C-alpha cells in the first residue's frame, strides 16, 4: 500500500482530503505545518506528499524544497488557492509532480495521486515507467498552462504565465518569443492596413508561436544532431498542439490561427496542412520570416549579427546590407531615399518568395520579376 502525507494548516480541508485519499486505498498521515511534516517524514518517509502552499509559518514551496533535497523518491503535489503562475512555475521547476488548483474535487485528487504513484515508482528505478511518465507529465503541463492562463485576469499576465512555462522547458524560449514578436510587429507596422485588433492578434500569435513545444520532449528540443524521422514527426506536431491549447482560451483564439500556420511555406512545402501562397494568413507569413531570422541570428542564445538580406537601392542602385532589428527600418546609406516603397518591395520578395527557412543573406531577388540582383538592379525598376 502506498503512503500519502497530507500537509495543510486548514484542519477541515485536511480532514476532507485525507478521507478521500483513504477511500482510494492509500495509507494516510496528516501534518498541520511544514515542521510537523518533516518530523513525520523523518519517522516514516511517505511515497507521496500533498502540501498546501499557503500555510502560516513555513509555506508549501519551502517544504517542497526540503522534501526534494532529503527524500528524492517522494512525489510532491502542491495545492493552493492562489491562482498564481509564478508559484506554479517555480514549483514545477522544483520537480513537483502535479498542482491542485482550489477548489478541486475527489476526481482531481485521484488523478494527481495516480500520476504521483508512477512518479514514485519511476524515481525508485523503473526506467520504462519513467519514460511513459514523462509523456503524461508533458501533456499535463500543456493542460496546466491552459488552466493557469485562463485564470489570469489580464492578457499580459496570461501571456507571461504561458511564456514562463515555455522558458522552463526550452532554453531561450522567452527571449526568442519576445524578439520574434518585436520583429513581426515591426513588419506588420510597415505593411499598414492592420486594425488595432489585428495587430494585437499578430503580437500574441508571435509571442506564443512555439507554445506547443511544451508537448515536445526536452531531449528532442535540445538535440544537437539531426532529428530522426520519429523525432521530426513529434517536433512537427507543435503548431497543432499550440493551436489546440490556445483555442481553449477565448482571448487568444485569433492568435491561434497564426500559431497553427507559422510553419507553412509559400510553396506548399510547410506543415501541418501544406497550405500554399495566399491561403497562409499574412500574419503567419510575417511570423515565419521573423522566426527564421531570429533562429539564424540567435543560435545557442547568442546574437550573431547576421544581415537579413543584401539590398540594391531603388533610387541610386547602391548595394548595401540590411539588418532588421526591432523597429529599425532599412534606408539607403548613400542617398537616404525615403524607404517605404523600397521596404514593401523587399518585404514582399521575402514573404512571397517561398521557404523562409533558407538562409536569407544575399537574397535580394526582386519582388516583381524575381531578378536575383534585386529591386533597383532589375529590368522592372
Ligand atoms: Fe515553431
Nearest-5° Cα angle at 65, 63 to 67: 70
Length of the chain in residues, anyone?
381
Span from the CA of 124 to the centroid of ligand 1 (angstroms): 36
Q: Which residues contact 166 (CB under 8 A, 6 or more apart)?
A: 173, 174, 177, 210, 211, 213, 214
List the grid coordinates of 352.
Answer: 512571397
The average pLDDT across 93-121 equals 85
d(CA 330, CA 322): 6
Using CA atoms, how far residue 361 sits from 288, 317, 364, in Å, is 16, 18, 8
pLDDT digits (tens, 9 = 90+) for 24-37: 999 999 999 999 99
User: Cell 534585386 belongs to which residue?
Assistant: 374
d(CA 339, CA 362): 19
Instruction: Please list the alpha-helical segments (H only) found in 44-172.
Output: 60-70, 85-93, 106-123, 127-151, 155-169
The average pLDDT across 362-373 equals 40
pLDDT digits (tens, 9 = 90+) for 35-92: 999 999 998 899 999 999 888 889 888 898 889 888 988 999 988 775 655 565 555 5
Neighbours of ion ligand 1 (CB under 5 A): 210
Span from the CA of 273 to the centroid of ligand 1 (angstroms): 14
In DSSP notation, 166-232 reads HHHHSTTHHHHHHHHHHHHHHHHHHH----HHHHHHHHHHHHTTTGGGGGS-HHHHT--SPP-HHHH
Is 128 a residue whose pLDDT tops 70? no
Span from the CA of 213 to the centroid of ligand 1 (angstroms): 8
- Strand, helix or coil for residue 98: strand
Span from the CA of 263 to the centroid of ligand 1 (angstroms): 6
Span from the CA of 236 to the centroid of ligand 1 (angstroms): 8
Confidence (pLDDT) at 358: 28
Contact 74, 95 (CB under 8 A): no
User: Cell 490556445 belongs to which residue?
Assistant: 246
Is 214 a residue whose pLDDT tops 70? yes
For the chain, domains (ranges, CATH) are 3-125 (3.40.50.2300), 151-301 (1.10.3210.10), 307-381 (no CATH)
Is 350 a residue whose pLDDT tops 60? no
Contact 375, 347 (CB under 8 A): no
Is 296 a residue whose pLDDT tops 80? no
User: Cell 499576465 belongs to which residue?
Assistant: 157
Contact 83, 101 (CB under 8 A): yes
Amino acid at each position: 500500500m502506498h503512503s500519502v502525507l497530507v500537509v495543510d494548516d486548514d484542519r477541515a480541508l485536511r480532514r476532507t482530503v485525507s478521507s478521500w485519499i483513504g477511500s482510494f486505498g492509500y495509507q494516510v498521515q496528516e501534518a498541520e505545518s511544514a515542521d510537523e511534516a518533516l518530523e513525520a517524514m523523518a519517522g516514516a518517509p511517505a511515497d507521496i506528499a500533498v502540501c498546501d502552499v499557503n500555510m502560516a509559518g513555513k509555506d508549501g514551496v519551502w517544504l517542497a524544497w526540503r522534501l526534494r533535497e532529503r527524500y528524492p523518491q517522494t512525489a510532491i503535489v502542491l495545492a493552493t488557492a492562489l491562482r498564481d503562475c509564478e508559484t506554479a512555475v517555480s514549483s514545477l521547476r522544483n520537480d513537483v509532480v502535479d498542482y491542485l488548483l482550489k477548489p478541486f474535487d475527489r476526481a482531481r485528487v485521484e488523478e494527481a495521486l495516480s500520476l504521483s504513484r508512477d512518479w514514485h515508482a519511476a524515481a525508485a528505478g523503473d526506467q520504462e515507467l519513467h519514460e511513459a511518465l514523462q509523456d503524461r507529465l508533458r501533456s499535463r503541463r500543456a493542460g496546466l498552462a491552459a488552466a493557469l492562463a485562463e485564470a489570469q485576469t489580464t492578457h499580459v499576465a496570461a501571456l507571461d504565465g504561458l511564456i514562463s512555462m515555455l522558458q522552463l522547458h526550452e532554453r531561450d524560449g522567452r527571449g526568442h518569443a519576445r524578439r520574434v514578436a518585436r520583429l513581426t510587429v515591426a513588419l506588420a507596422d510597415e505593411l499598414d492596413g492592420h486594425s488595432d485588433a489585428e495587430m494585437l492578434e499578430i503580437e500574441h500569435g508571435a509571442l506564443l508561436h512555439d507554445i506547443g513545444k511544451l508537448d515536445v520532449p526536452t531531449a528532442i528540443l535540445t538535440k544537437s544532431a539531426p532529428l530522426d524521422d520519429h523525432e521530426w514527426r513529434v517536433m512537427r506536431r507543435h503548431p497543432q498542439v499550440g493551436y489546440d491549447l490556445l483555442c481553449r482560451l477565448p482571448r487568444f483564439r485569433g492568435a491561434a490561427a497564426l500559431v497553427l500556420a507559422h510553419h507553412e511555406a509559400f510553396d506548399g512545402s510547410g506543415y501541418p496542412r501544406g497550405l500554399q501562397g495566399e491561403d497562409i494568413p499574412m500574419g503567419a507569413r510575417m511570423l515565419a520570416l521573423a522566426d527564421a531570422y531570429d533562429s539564424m541570428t540567435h543560435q545557442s542564445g547568442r546574437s550573431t549579427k547576421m544581415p537579413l538580406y543584401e539590398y540594391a537601392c531603388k533610387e541610386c542602385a547602391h548595394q548595401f546590407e540590411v539588418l532588421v532589428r526591432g523597429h529599425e527600418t532599412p534606408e539607403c546609406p548613400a542617398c537616404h531615399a525615403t524607404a517605404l516603397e523600397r521596404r514593401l518591395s523587399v518585404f514582399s520578395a521575402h514573404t512571397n518568395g517561398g521557404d523562409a527557412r533558407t538562409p536569407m543573406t544575399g537574397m535580394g531577388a526582386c519582388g516583381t520579376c524575381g531578378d536575383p540582383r534585386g529591386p533597383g538592379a532589375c529590368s522592372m525598376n
